[in-house]
């Protein structure tokens, strides 16, 4: 959570920093701030509660000169979202300013020690402790800023990506990371620093991903220098990014979420490109080919993930078990990491994460690797911490997902898991040729099928007005589509603030049926599959108790059309890919209900896209 940006170069820093903050706003939007060093080494710090737009309004009549600066958009952890707790934080003398993404776990102890040495604090944040500590070390040791940062970080327990500037060294920005991401953009005579590459891509596609325990020394007019926490020279490995600015804009849509929903025909096309040929049943995943023995000898697969990625994992479990005949369990990364699991070298841990930065998933990976398991990543963000922490993996390649509610990443994850199941099944000989042909044909047809399903938009938009004032929703599904019910419910609750629960349809009679009355709509996911007849009974049970039903059915399904209040028809598809297709109306329903309620769908309250804290 939280996004940081830094700039040093020849252009006015303010514009670059604020534009960068807008790009990073998906990481948190409780407050925003900027610190600028003017040419005569004066430090101006402006910060305010609220979004980056609020910061821009606040800065309208301020001195925004300077070609060096740092900026921050916050997702509050320590201290309420107000002006004082907003970053940048500055040292007692007012000379050093710092922005931080992460949490300093031992900030209480450090704060006490600093207070005993005369420091006073303005904010309730853990970050202010860090900037005061840096100044304290600098003054006590009479050292340079980089030395002070390096020494101070030795005292710190926790996660951080930081950027620091100092009026005593007006041509320097120091960056450092541990467990929170930091990317450095290397331009011509200018250098950028950010939580991800999106603020940088407009200016340069040459980036360096800082590693844990590394410190970047960025001096105007000098080449980038990296040192390690123990003061050895670090490696500068410049990567070239393949990302375009247009991917980061709304492209005519009112919201990123709607753009991302509509992008799915092309994102799925990108996801399968080069992995499934234009004809034939082969699935080529280099991660599987290169680690053939690991997959052939795996006793077990454990999928770890959070949120939507965890739902994709549940679908992955069914796919892998059915197609590749390997036992699979799916764990919340946050629980798994503290569960003292029994793992060994015959286990494969699959970590799923859109951002590749989720702290719990990253910690689960590190633990799994320590136990000797082989860790395979399914990530979207290229070069992200999780992508780099895994032994191998497959990118979903759906492009930057900016809306906080995950949409195209979910369908990309399920697509990759389907390909993974087929690739392993084919390697092990557990998938028969006819099934393999049917699944790969279905994957090839996905973009067209999604395009067709997106035509439901207008119907769903009209339908959504009926549900604006509802307080609760129930989502039911079975088999492959039980996870779809969970995902539909999560989508609705996170952006519309309507309470929603997903259940396996047959479990309804064991409790949730008590909730059903005229006030509780139920979304039933009921495509033509082997559970169809049974799910019709569930719909009858809801109707018999006065509940209303929105049913997602296969085109031409007259039996459900007769009993449900509303039907949303999807194309006829093989069962294994049905979760991808049914997710389209579920995403659209959540989107339109939230819009009708006047909610900010791209930046729902209390949430952030990238959850880099526990």
* Cα gap 210→127, rounded to integer Å: 20
* Residue closest to ligand M6R when measured from CB atoms: 307
Choose among 210, 240, 206: nearest CA to 225.
Answer: 210
- Smallest distance from the beta carbon of 182 to ligand M6R, in angstroms? 17
**Nearest Cα residue to 256 out of 605, 583, 495:** 495
- Asked if residue 353 binds ligand M6R (CB under 6 A), the reply is yes
Q: Please tell me whether residue 354 binds ligand M6R under the rule CB under 6 A.
A: yes
By CB under 6 A, residue 264 contacts ligand M6R: no
Q: Does 404 bind ligand M6R (CB under 6 A)?
A: yes
Give catalytic status of residue 306 as yes or no: no
297, 443, 453: which is closest to 373 by C-alpha?
297
Report residue 522: phi and psi, to 5°.
-120, 130
- Sequence-ordered alpha helix ranges (H) in 429-478: 433-453, 457-464
CB of 361 to ligand M6R, least distance (A): 5
C-alpha to C-alpha distance for 491 and 405, rounded to whole angstroms: 7
Give the DSSP letter string of 110-178: HHHHHHHTT---SSS-SHHHHHHHHHHHHHHHT--HHHHHHHHHHT--EEEEEEEEETTSTTEEEEEEE
Mark residues 439-478: x for contact with ligand M6R by CB under 6 A, - for none: ----------------------------------------
358 binds ligand M6R (CB under 6 A): yes
Residues 485-544 that bind ligand M6R (CB under 6 A): 490, 494
Does residue number 418 form part of the binding site for ligand M6R (CB under 6 A)?
A: no
By CB under 6 A, the count of residues binding ligand M6R is 15
Selecting among 138, 408, 493, 609, the annotated active-site residue is: 609
d(CA 589, CA 607): 20
Q: Output the smallest distance, CB 463 to ligand M6R, in A.
A: 22
Counting contacts by CB under 6 A, is residue 198 touching ligand M6R? no
Q: Dump the DSSP string for 56-106.
A: HHHTTTS----SEEEEEEE--SSS-SSTTTSSPEE-TTS-EEEEEEEEETT
| Catalytic-residue membership of 119 | no
Q: Do 186 and 201 form a contact (C-beta atoms < 8 A)?
A: no
Cβ proximity to ligand M6R, 354 vs 426, nearer residue: 354
Q: Shortest distance, CB of residue 312 to ligand M6R, whole angstroms?
A: 8
Please tell me the distance from the alpha carbon of residue 513 to that of residue 476, in angstroms, as a whole number. Answer: 11
**According to CB under 6 A, which residues from 292 to 351 bind ligand M6R?**
306-309
| 361 scored as a contact of ligand M6R (CB under 6 A) | yes
CA distance 365 to 354: 15
Query: Which of 267, 390, 406, 481 touches ligand M6R (CB under 6 A)?
Result: 406
Under the binding rule (CB under 6 A), the answer on residue 390 touching ligand M6R is no
384 scored as a contact of ligand M6R (CB under 6 A)? no
The answer to the question of residue 578 lying near ligand M6R (CB under 6 A) is: no
Q: Tell me the closest approach of the beta carbon of residue 308 to ligand M6R, in angstroms.
A: 3
Of 2, 271, 379, 599, the active-site residue reads 2
How far apart are CB 102 and ligand M6R at their closest, in Å? 16
Three-state secondary structure call for residue 307: helix
Beta-strand ranges (E) seen in 281-391 are: 300-305, 328-332, 347-353, 374-379
What are the catalytic residues?
Answer: 2, 609
User: Can you give the binding site for ligand M6R, defined by CB under 6 A?
Assistant: 306-309, 353-355, 358, 361, 404-406, 490, 494, 611
């Amino acid at each position: 959570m939280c996004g940081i940006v830094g700039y040093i170069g020849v252009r006015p820093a303010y514009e670059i920093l604020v534009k960068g903050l807008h790009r990073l706003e998906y990481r948190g939007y409780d407050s925003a701030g900027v610190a600028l060093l003017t040419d005569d080494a004066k430090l101006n710090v402006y910060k305010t509660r609220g979004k980056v737009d609020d910061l821009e309004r606040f800065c309208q009549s301020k001195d925004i000169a300077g070609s060096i600066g740092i900026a921050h958009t916050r997702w509050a952890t320590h201290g309420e979202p107000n002006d004082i707790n907003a970053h940048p934080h500055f040292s007692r003398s007012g000379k050093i300013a710092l922005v931080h993404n992460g949490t300093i776990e031992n900030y209480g102890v450090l704060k006490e020690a600093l207070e005993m040495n005369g420091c006073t604090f303005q904010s309730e944040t853990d970050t202010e402790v860090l900037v005061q500590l840096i100044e304290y070390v600098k003054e006590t040791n009479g050292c340079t800023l980089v030395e002070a940062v390096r020494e101070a970080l030795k005292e710190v327990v926790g996660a951080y990506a930081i950027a620091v500037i100092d009026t005593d060294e007006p041509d320097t920005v120091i960056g450092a990371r541990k467990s929170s991401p930091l990317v450095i953009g290397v331009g011509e005579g200018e250098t950028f620093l950010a939580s991800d590459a999106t603020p940088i891509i407009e200016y340069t596609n040459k980036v360096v991903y800082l590693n844990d325990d590394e410190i970047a020394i960025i001096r105007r007019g000098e080449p980038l220098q990296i040192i390690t926490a123990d003061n050895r020279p670090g490696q500068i490995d410049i990567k070239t990014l393949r990302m375009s600015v247009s991917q980061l804009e709304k492209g005519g849509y009112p919201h990123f979420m709607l753009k991302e929903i509509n992008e799915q025909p092309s994102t799925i096309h990108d996801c399968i490109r080069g992995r499934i040929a234009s004809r034939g049943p082969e699935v080529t995943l280099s991660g599987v080919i290169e680690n053939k023995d690991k997959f052939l000898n795996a006793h077990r697969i454990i999928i770890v993930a959070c949120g939507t990625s965890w739902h994709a994992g549940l679908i992955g479990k069914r796919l892998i078990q059915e197609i590749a005949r390997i036992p699979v369990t799916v764990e919340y990364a946050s629980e798994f990491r503290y569960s003292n699991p029994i793992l060994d070298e015959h286990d494969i841990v699959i970590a799923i994460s859109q951002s590749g930065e989720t702290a719990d998933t990253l910690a689960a990976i590190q633990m799994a690797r320590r136990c000797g398991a082989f860790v395979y990543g399914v990530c979207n963000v290229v070069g992200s911490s999780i992508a780099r922490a895994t032994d191998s993996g497959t990118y979903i390649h759906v492009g930057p997902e900016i809306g906080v509610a995950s949409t195209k990443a979910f369908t990309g994850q399920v697509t990759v898991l389907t390909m993974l199941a087929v690739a392993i099944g084919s390697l092990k000989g557990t998938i028969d040729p006819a099934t393999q042909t049917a699944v790969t044909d279905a994957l090839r047809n996905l973009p067209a099928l999604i395009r067709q399903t997106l035509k439901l938009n207008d119907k769903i938009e009209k339908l959504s007005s009926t549900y604006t004032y509802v307080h609760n929703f129930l989502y039911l599904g079975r088999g492959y589509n039980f996870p779809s019910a969970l995902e539909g419910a999560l989508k609705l609750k996170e952006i519309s603030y309507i309470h929603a629960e997903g259940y396996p349809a047959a479990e309804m009679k064991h409790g949730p049926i008590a909730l059903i009355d005229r006030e509780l709509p139920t979304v039933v996911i009921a495509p033509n599959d082997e559970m169809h007849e049974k799910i019709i009974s569930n719909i009858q049970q809801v109707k018999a108790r006065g509940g209303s039903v929105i049913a997602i059915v296969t085109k031409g399904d007259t039996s459900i059309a007769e009993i449900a209040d509303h039907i949303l028809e999807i194309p006829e598809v093989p069962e294994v890919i049905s979760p991808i297709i049914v997710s389209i109306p579920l995403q659209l329903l959540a989107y339109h209900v939230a819009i009708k309620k006047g909610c900010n769908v791209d930046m729902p309250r209390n949430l952030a896209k990238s959850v880099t804290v526990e």
